[in-house]
């Protein structure tokens, strides 16, 4: 009897560990961008998170600004993509994030692309459809891993297609 209970317990644990939420909370028909300063970079499973501070419209240089959160794929998936690693982003880095926004209007969304200080492009979420269509074209394999950015960086400035 004990082996059956152990087997059942392991199946329940496996199912719980792999439970996942829907992407319905994101509006994948939109691709927006926001610039700010990295507050925290969480290289974790099941999702990597990038938290940035975005200055308010009337914020002074010393004002904290608003905190925005962006969900990206798991670290294991991002590790396969160019430029991503556990040290790809650090607190204080200046970034522009392209994302599909949360439907409820809160600050944040499903991150698609991070442009770091106008010097490096990190592509992360092949399921942010509007951003994929705007910012990426398929690479040689047709996989999101080797997608080619249509963004250009010139003298630290982002040139959108």
- Specify the number of domains making up the chain: 1
Distance CA 4, CA 157 (A): 61
CA angle 110, 114, 117 (to 5 degrees): 150
- Note the pLDDT tens digit of each residue in 99-150: 999 999 999 999 988 988 877 888 775 555 677 777 776 666 665 555 666 6
* pLDDT reading at 80 higher than 70: yes
> pLDDT band for position 17 (50/70/90)?
very low
Identify whether 8 is part of a domain: no
> pLDDT band for position 88 (50/70/90)?
very high
Identify whether 9 is part of a domain: no
Among candidate residues 30, 15, 6, 2, the one with its CA nearest the CA of residue 132: 30
Task: Please state the rounded mean pLDDT for residues 4-20.
Answer: 43
Higher-scoring residue by pLDDT: 97, 121: 97
Helix (H), strand (E), coil (C) string for 23-43: CCCECCCCCEEEEEEEEEEEC
Distance CA 103, CA 112 (A): 16
For the ranges 31-45, 59-73, 97-111, the lowest mean pLDDT is seen at 59-73
Round to the nearest angstrom and report the end-to-end CA distance of the chain.
64
CATH number at residue 34: 2.40.50
User: Can you give the pLDDT at residue 147?
Assistant: 62
Identify whether 58 is part of a domain: yes
Contact 115, 95 (CB under 8 A): yes
Identify whether 62 is part of a domain: yes
Identify whether 123 is part of a domain: yes
Identify whether 28 is part of a domain: yes
User: Can you give the pLDDT at residue 153?
Assistant: 72
* pLDDT reading at 67 higher than 70: yes
User: Can you give the pLDDT at residue 90?
Assistant: 95
Among candidate residues 94, 120, 40, 103, the one with its CA nearest the CA of residue 72: 40
Q: Considering the chain, what is the average pLDDT of its residues?
A: 77
Residue 13: its H or E element = helix 2-17
* pLDDT reading at 59 higher than 60: no
Identify whether 137 is part of a domain: yes
Q: Is the previous residue joined to 112 through a cis bond, with omega within 30 degrees of 0? A: no
User: Can you give the pLDDT at residue 28?
Assistant: 86
Residue 52 CB partners (closer than 8 Å, separation 6+): 34, 36, 37, 38, 39, 67, 68, 70, 95, 97
Domain that holds residue 72: 23-159
Identify whether 4 is part of a domain: no
> pLDDT band for position 38 (50/70/90)?
very high
């Amino acid at each position: 009897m004990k082996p059956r209970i152990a087997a059942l317990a392991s199946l329940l644990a496996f199912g719980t560990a792999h439970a996942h939420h829907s992407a319905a909370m994101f509006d994948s028909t939109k691709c927006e961008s926001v610039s700010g300063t990295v507050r925290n970079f969480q290289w974790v499973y099941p999702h990597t998170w990038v938290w940035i501070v975005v200055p308010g419209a009337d914020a002074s240089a010393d004002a904290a600004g608003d905190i925005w959160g962006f969900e990206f794929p798991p670290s294991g998936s991002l590790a396969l993509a160019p430029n991503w690693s556990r040290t790809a982003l650090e607190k204080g880095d200046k970034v522009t994030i392209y994302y599909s926004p949360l439907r409820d209007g809160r600050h944040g969304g499903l991150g698609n692309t991070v442009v770091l200080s106008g010097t490096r492009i990190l592509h992360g979420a092949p399921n942010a459809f509007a951003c994929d269509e705007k910012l990426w074209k398929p690479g040689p394999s047709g996989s999101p891993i080797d997608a080619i950015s249509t963004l250009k960086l010139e003298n630290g400035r982002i040139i959108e297609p």
